[in-house]
Structures are given as structure tokens and as C-alpha cells.
């Protein structure tokens, strides 16, 4: 079972091997836990996943907002409704 929260790490298990963290204060990736947990996002199975931490979080937030709106009956119009053709 995968313990990574990254959607790209379906097969990887961050409990085995090196873990990577995105440091919110410095904007850098740390190999292993080097900073306080309040400053970190992760763990991620790879350095590349940790580098995309903010992008991954933004994508998830957008999806959760859309899901909440749909749950509340506030579905947004389809994208083609914005197209003036």
C-alpha cells in the first residue's frame, strides 16, 4: 500500500528509502526531514514530486472547490459556455 499523498506515486512507498520534503519557508526540496514539520509539505517519494508540491496542492484545492460547489448545487457552467463562437 502506498503512503504517498502524491497522485503520481501510485506504486511508490515513501516509507521505504529516501523521503523528500518541500520547504515552504525556503522554497527548496530537502532530502530527509531537516526542518520543523510546520515548514514542510510531504513526504514525497521523489525529488520531482516534492518540487511540484505547490502545483499539486493548488490542483487538489481547485478540484475540492469544484466538488464542494457541486455538492452544494452550485455547479459552474460548462467550459464551452465561455466560448463566444
Q: What is the DSSP string of the chain?
A: ------TT-SS--TTSS--EEEETTT--EEES--S-GGGEEEEESSHHHHHTHHHHHHHHHHHHHHHHHHHTT-PPPPGGGG---
Residue % of the chain over a pLDDT of 90 = 60
In a domain, residue 80? The reply is no
Q: Would residue 81 count as lying in a domain?
A: no
Can you give the pTM of this predicted structure? 0.64
- For 29, the domain range is 1-73
Q: Is the peptide bond before 43 cis (omega within 30 degrees of 0)?
A: yes
- Give the length of the chain: 85
- The reported pLDDT for the residue numbered 1 is 41
- Predicted confidence band at 74 (pLDDT cuts at 50, 70, 90)? confident
In a domain, 47, yes or no: yes
Residue pLDDT, tens place only, 2-20: 444 554 544 455 566 899 9
For the chain, the domain total comes to: 1
Residue 82 in any domain: the answer is no
Q: Has residue 29 been placed in a domain?
A: yes
Amino acid at each position: 500500500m502506498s503512503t504517498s499523498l502524491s497522485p503520481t506515486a501510485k506504486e511508490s512507498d515513501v516509507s521505504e528509502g529516501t523521503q523528500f520534503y518541500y520547504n515552504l519557508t525556503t522554497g527548496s526540496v530537502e532530502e530527509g526531514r531537516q526542518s520543523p514539520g510546520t515548514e514542510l509539505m510531504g513526504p514525497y517519494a521523489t525529488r520531482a514530486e516534492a518540487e511540484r508540491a505547490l502545483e499539486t496542492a493548488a490542483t487538489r484545492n481547485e478540484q475540492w472547490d469544484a466538488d464542494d460547489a457541486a455538492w452544494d448545487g452550485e455547479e459552474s457552467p460548462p467550459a464551452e459556455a465561455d466560448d463566444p463562437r
